[in-house]
């Protein structure tokens, strides 16, 4: 099992876009590799919606390998014999950083009293952590999916803090379809009678049924139709004929139920509400007067970071058009940017899976 995470308590209140501030916010994080004496080799990896700080070490609840263990480690594309890699649990989550399950100033869980947060608020927390670690400028900030949103937000709001920005399978704004899928998940959680208006901490039951349905619906968006067809097709699960009932007749049904039930063991339902809401509020252009190029003005003519954006041809959650939208804005801002669309059969989850061309892009960009 993983050793306990490091925890950094912010010395100042964390200001939020909603106008509130969190006193004594804690950020749980893991590190891999040695930090250079001049602190020039630090890479911040930002996690996705249901990820955590256990980037390349076993998860303490599930015992499963780190979520990007194939990418991070000695001799791997993000080489921990060369770089000091930091991965922190975002504010609002449930793996040690302050979130709705944490104790509020009155000693009771925040629950739905926790303030609504944004991706930019998450990034403010990460920058406060970097301040606490004495790291003024990152060698790179890297992330896929919501992690990529954080990487772009850091570049837009703190342009001096990273020399390289690698954003994979991501977007600078959530679309109506993105918001719609998240709303289905939130409603599934809130419709579960065990949700109790978010005040289920201390009870014997949590809204696991609703959270499982939310995870099932979201998981479909992470896969491609071709990938689902190849993996499952219409094959039956442990039977030779249809049951003419409502058990999991099909393999794909069984798979989704397994994904949903497993997820409830390691994730908090209220955190799911808060983080999906933060993602839905994301619109980096809106934060900077309505023009995305203006958000990246701090990177003009090579005075800020170099960018690399990666998309996948089967990702319909954050399709290539979303990455191109960001690339066009970076071009308009005069920021140095490279972009590649990779072919992979796995849909949005391709950034987590075995796609050797991605390994080459990541290594080439970070080491170049």
Which sequence spans correspond to the domains of the chain?
6-174+283-367, 178-275
Is 38 among the residues known to form the active site? Answer: no
Q: 4: pLDDT confidence band, cut at 50, 70 and 90? A: low
pLDDT value at residue 95: 96
Residue 41 structure tokens: 């080799």
pLDDT value at residue 1: 29
**Average pLDDT over the chain, rounded to an integer:** 96
**What are the residue ranges of helices labelled H in the chain?**
119-133, 146-157, 176-191, 208-221, 225-231, 251-263, 269-281, 284-287, 292-295, 320-333, 356-367
Is 315 among the residues known to form the active site? Answer: yes
Relative orientation angle of helices 208-221 and 176-191, to the nearest 10 degrees: 160
Marked catalytic residue, from 52, 315, 323, 350: 315
Domain 6-174+283-367 CATH (choose: 3.40.50.1820, 3.10.20.30, 3.20.20.70, 3.30.470.20): 3.40.50.1820
H helix or E strand, kind and range, residue 45: strand 42-46
pLDDT value at residue 300: 84
What is each CA distance from 164 to 143, 289, 325, 330, in whole angstroms? 12, 24, 19, 13
pLDDT value at residue 204: 94
Asked whether residue 174 carries a pLDDT value surpassing 70, the answer given is yes
The 10 Å Cβ neighbour count of residue 152 is 30
Share of the chain above pLDDT 90, in %: 97
38-74 residue pLDDT tens = 999 999 999 999 999 999 999 999 999 999 999 999 9
Q: Please give the Cα distance from 25 to 13 (Å, whole number).
A: 7
Residue 349 annotated as lining a ligand binding site:
yes
Asked whether residue 3 carries a pLDDT value surpassing 60, the answer given is no
The 10 Å Cβ neighbour count of residue 92 is 29
Q: 368: pLDDT confidence band, cut at 50, 70 and 90? A: confident
3-class DSSP string for 299-349: HHHHCCCEEEEEEECCCCCCCHHHHHHHHHHHHHHCCCEEEEEECCCCHHH
Asked whether residue 219 carries a pLDDT value surpassing 90, the answer given is yes
Is 338 among the residues known to form the active site? Answer: no
Asked whether residue 2 carries a pLDDT value surpassing 50, the answer given is no
Asked whether residue 231 carries a pLDDT value surpassing 70, the answer given is yes
119-156 residue pLDDT tens = 999 999 999 999 999 999 999 999 999 999 999 999 99
* CATH number for the domain formed by residue range(s) 178-275: 1.10.1740.110
Marked catalytic residue, from 145, 311, 323, 350: 145
Mean pLDDT, residues 102-121 taken together: 97
Entry pTM: 0.96
Q: 303: pLDDT confidence band, cut at 50, 70 and 90? A: confident
């Amino acid at each position: 099992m993983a050793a306990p995470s490091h925890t950094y308590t912010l010395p100042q209140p964390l200001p939020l876009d909603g106008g509130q501030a969190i006193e004594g916010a804690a950020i749980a994080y893991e590190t891999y590799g040695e930090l250079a004496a001049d602190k020039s080799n630090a890479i911040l990896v930002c996690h996705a919606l249901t990820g955590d700080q256990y980037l390349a070490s076993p998860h303490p609840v599930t015992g499963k390998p780190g979520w990007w263990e194939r990418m991070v480690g000695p001799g791997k594309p993000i080489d921990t014999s060369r770089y000091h890699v930091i991965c922190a649990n975002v504010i609002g989550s449930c793996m040690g950083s302050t979130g709705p399950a944490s104790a509020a100033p009155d000693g009771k869980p925040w629950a739905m009293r926790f303030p609504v947060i944004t991706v930019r608020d998450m990034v403010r927390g990460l920058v406060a952590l970097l301040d606490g670690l004495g790291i003024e400028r990152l060698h790179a900030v890297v992330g896929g999916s919501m992690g990529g949103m954080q990487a772009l937000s850091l570049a837009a709001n703190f342009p001096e803090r990273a020399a390289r920005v690698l954003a994979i399978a991501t977007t600078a704004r959530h679309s109506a379809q993105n918001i719609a899928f998240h709303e289905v998940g939130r409603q599934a959680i809130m419709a579960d009678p065990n949700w109790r208006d978010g005040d289920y901490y201390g009870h014997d039951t949590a809204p696991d049924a609703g959270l499982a349905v939310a995870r099932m619906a979201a998981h479909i968006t992470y896969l491609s139709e071709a990938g689902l067809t190849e993996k499952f097709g219409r094959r039956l699960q442990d039977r030779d004929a249809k049951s003419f009932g409502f058990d999991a007749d099909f393999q794909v049904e069984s798979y989704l139920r397994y994904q949903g039930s497993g997820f409830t063991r390691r994730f908090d339902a209220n955190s799911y509400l808060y983080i999906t809401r933060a993602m839905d509020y994301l619109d980096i252009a809106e934060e900077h007067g309505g023009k995305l190029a203006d958000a990246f003005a701090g990177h003009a003519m090579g005075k800020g970071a170099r960018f690399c954006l990666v998309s996948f041809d089967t990702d319909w959650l954050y399709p290539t058009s979303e990455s191109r939208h960001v690339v066009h804005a970076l071009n308009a801002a005069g920021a140095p940017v490279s972009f590649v669309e990779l072919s992979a059969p796995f849909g949005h989850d391709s950034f987590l899976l075995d796609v050797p061309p991605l390994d080459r892009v990541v290594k080439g960009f970070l080491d170049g």
